[in-house]
């Protein structure tokens, strides 16, 4: 598996994010919208080994890191 998710010479764009085998179109559509509107933000929250989800609890921002541990040498949810 490549250690790079986004091309190093440009920001992510909506065409980088493609629906894979699983039915996660709600997630893909959200990521594509983010890539279209704020690609720098998308690049900052998803890295090669983790991503960070932001939630709000009683008006306070809470960051939840998610460590990505591959089950195999292939992506399972979406491809790019």
> Domains in the chain: how many in total?
1
Angle at 16 between CA 30 and CA 41, to 5 degrees: 55
pLDDT, one tens digit per residue, over 51-79 is 778 899 999 999 988 776 666 665 555 55
Structural domain for 49, as ranges: 14-70
Residue 59 included in any domain:
yes
Structural domain includes residue 6: no
The structure's pTM equals 0.56
Residue 41 lies in a domain: yes
Q: Residue 63 contacts by C-beta under 8 Å, 6 or more apart in sequence?
A: 52, 53, 54
* 2 within a domain of the structure (yes/no): no
In a domain, 24, yes or no: yes
Neighbours of 12 (CB within 10 A): 23
Q: What is the pLDDT of residues 15-36, one digit of tens each?
A: 888 777 777 788 889 889 998 9
Determine the Cα–Cα distance for residues 37 and 79; give it in Å rounded to an integer: 21
């Amino acid at each position: 598996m490549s250690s790079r998710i986004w091309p190093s010479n440009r920001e992510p764009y909506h065409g980088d994010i493609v629906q894979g085998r699983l039915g996660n179109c709600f997630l893909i559509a959200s990521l594509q919208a983010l890539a279209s509107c704020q690609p720098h933000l998308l690049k900052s929250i998803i890295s090669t080994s983790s991503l960070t989800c932001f939630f709000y609890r009683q008006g306070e921002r809470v960051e939840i890191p998610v460590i990505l541990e591959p089950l195999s040498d292939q992506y399972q949810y979406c491809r790019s």
